[in-house]
Structure 1
């Protein structure tokens, strides 16, 4: 009726384009060059920590003639681990400026500098007998991850046609998980989880930019690898069904599973002990739930619910919150766990419940909608008049609008 009053004829329905090889290649190259590194370096120093600590101690003995004390060893190791999220925070604070000045693609290309330099530094650290190079490299790798965390979802979300945006948007997390999983495999003692293998990994990392050493194990390496398999499989499943079931439902299912797993895990730890089968099942259930919704879907939603003009600033704030909370959880959780024991998981269950309620009450389904249409929904909910910028109307006009109807990407 509104269209008739304006004298506008409805546009012909837009035919959905298939996933073209050019778009696949663009996605793979962008994700391998950013999210894959992020995932690998999340876990780069955990399993082979004894090898690295031994290298630190040997270097210290050569310099000072005495072995490194336990307190100094712990301090240096804490710095090695914590420098990564610190670098991630720094990266998240500059990504908004970078995408405005260099564009999305340009930012991803410039970000390669923060992968190449630490690769070279790690590669020469053993020859130079300088563990400081490893610690400094962790800062630069964190910057690389911080920029990737925000720039890649932005690039893929804006590159993809609306009916493929969910699937391509989840590729950020898919490649993060694949990077973590490969680190798990390489860190097995029979492969590269030993001093010789560590040296090979560092040299290989210097050559390929993407490689290093290991990943954390919750109970044992076998359990850790099994958890990695679950993580990869469920994340890929989520990417495959996100356009079928939608973002909102997957988030609700995922947080529901995570919250339930935390509650049951609390009971398992209270009544069956740390290594009970039920406890291990809960850990796997939590990973599965997290991989279905909370892990891959937010990278899609946070791109979709903001217009292009606001996206850099929003993702800068989002990235800063992401890395700060990572740091705080790592800092506070051991003390909380020591203070209240298994009951600490009830806190996480409560957070999952509150998040699910918020999603149910506030977040609309964004599947198959343009960015302009999504923002119009939010404006209507808040009783506001929606006035997008002209460039937003031109590039994302829906089929009900006369102004240059949105065309599917030729990819």
Structure 2
């Protein structure tokens, strides 16, 4: 959220993907440091545990020197001078009047809505499709089976003939693929747009889950099927890293305005972790019950999320927050941002697609 509010329009997507990039860097670092030959042993595990505190300490020391969000200063604090100073510091040039005016327009569009709680957010008709979209995308991100893929990966590697002591290196290689494709997403998100990456990513995940199901079902009868399974895991990781992993959180920043953005992140985060917990809790039982066909469930979730994205989620690339809000205003069939103001009129029915 912080990076999304700081970023200029033309870099908002790339900077919005950067947090996910550093998550993948952290995962890869943990996989490498967690090798048995390094720190995953009796002598090294306290060091491995302590290393996790280093990034937190660096962040704690540096955050006080970071500028406050110009949108927060102008919309919440009504301090135009401080907002302009923050913009000058961030942009590196003095003429920030145009961007300041854009923030003022966002403030006027919200009509001083004030604090919006989670319950209020869920009741607001003017934010209906935004909330539904975030719930679908954040839920789809986790329920599409990314954690199940990693859970199942070691078993697939072993079935393909990888020695038990070498599985950890193959797993680290998968983490490297995840990081490299997230780097790719940073550079293409402003070129291809958010919708394309979501559609492409979920489509790749759907295909990978379907082929993986067939490969697992046939691996005892066709000798080379375990290698197909490995290819499916790598393909799934590529697809998820391109769109489903980084884009939903970026969209929370883009499709909500300043007053509703914190509550939207609370909703999105809750859906994310609840979905994550659900998959971790029930997948072992699904695996016992369905065996090789476990991933059909995830394939269906991928295709349903793809259909929703195609029909509902608009492209936000190169648009201001106000322009994005106007798109959703028409989708929600209201004429203002806040229906509780009792000054709204219905628009004629409109489609929710592009």
The secondary structure found in structure 1 opposite 2:43 is helix
Deviation, 1:314, is 1.2
1:173 to 3, 20, 24: 20
Question: Equivalent residue for 2:184?
Answer: 237
The secondary structure found in structure 2 opposite 1:277 is helix
2:210 to 255, 263, 275: 263
Q: Does residue 374 in structure 1 map to residue 221 in structure 2?
A: no
User: Does structure 1 retain, via aligned residues, the 8 Å contact 2:153–2:233?
Assistant: no
2:335 and 2:50 map into 1 onto residues whose CA distance is 57
| Pair 1:197–1:313, CA change in 2 (3 A) | same
2:25 and 2:10 map into 1 onto residues whose CA distance is 24
Question: Equivalent residue for 2:243?
Answer: 293
1:188 and 1:329 map into 2 onto residues whose CA distance is 26
Q: Does residue 282 in structure 1 map to residue 217 in structure 2?
A: no
1:340 and 1:382 map into 2 onto residues whose CA distance is 40
Partner deviation per Cα, 1:184-241 (whole Å, 9 max, x = no partner): 0101112112111113323444566579xxx979322122011011100000100111
1:285 and 1:199 map into 2 onto residues whose CA distance is 35
User: Does structure 2 retain, via aligned residues, the 8 Å contact 1:172–1:299?
Assistant: no
Q: Which moved more, 1:335-344 or 1:192-201?
A: 192-201
Question: Equivalent residue for 1:302?
Answer: 252
Q: Does residue 162 in structure 1 map to residue 9 in structure 2?
A: yes
| Pair 1:371–1:207, CA change in 2 (3 A) | closer
| Pair 1:271–1:293, CA change in 2 (3 A) | same
1:198 to 40, 45, 50: 45
| Pair 1:289–1:180, CA change in 2 (3 A) | same
- The two structures have a TM-score, normalised by structure 1, of 0.54
Unaligned runs of 5+ in 2: 59-149, 155-166, 340-354
User: Does structure 2 retain, via aligned residues, the 8 Å contact 1:216–1:224?
Assistant: no
User: Does structure 2 retain, via aligned residues, the 8 Å contact 1:366–1:374?
Assistant: yes
2:297 and 2:261 map into 1 onto residues whose CA distance is 31
Question: Equivalent residue for 1:357?
Answer: 307
The secondary structure found in structure 1 opposite 2:269 is helix
User: Does structure 1 retain, via aligned residues, the 8 Å contact 2:20–2:246?
Assistant: yes
User: Does structure 2 retain, via aligned residues, the 8 Å contact 1:167–1:242?
Assistant: yes
Unaligned runs of 5+ in 1: 1-153, 390-411
User: Does structure 1 retain, via aligned residues, the 8 Å contact 2:34–2:48?
Assistant: no
Deviation, 1:303, is 1.1
| Pair 1:157–1:204, CA change in 2 (3 A) | closer
Runs of 4+ in 1 over 2 A off after TM superposition: 199-211, 215-218, 386-389
User: Does structure 1 retain, via aligned residues, the 8 Å contact 2:195–2:315?
Assistant: yes
Question: Equivalent residue for 1:35?
Answer: none
Deviation, 1:383, is 2.6
- The two structures have a TM-score, normalised by structure 2, of 0.62
Higher relative contact order (CA 8 A, sep 6+): 2
| Pair 1:307–1:166, CA change in 2 (3 A) | same
2:272 and 2:226 map into 1 onto residues whose CA distance is 32
Q: How many residues align?
A: 233
Question: Equivalent residue for 1:319?
Answer: 269
Q: Does residue 222 in structure 1 map to residue 169 in structure 2?
A: yes
Deviation, 1:378, is 1.1
Deviation, 1:344, is 1.3
Deviation, 1:367, is 0.3
User: Does structure 1 retain, via aligned residues, the 8 Å contact 2:211–2:232?
Assistant: yes
User: Does structure 1 retain, via aligned residues, the 8 Å contact 2:205–2:235?
Assistant: yes
Deviation, 1:156, is 0.6
Q: Does residue 338 in structure 1 map to residue 185 in structure 2?
A: no
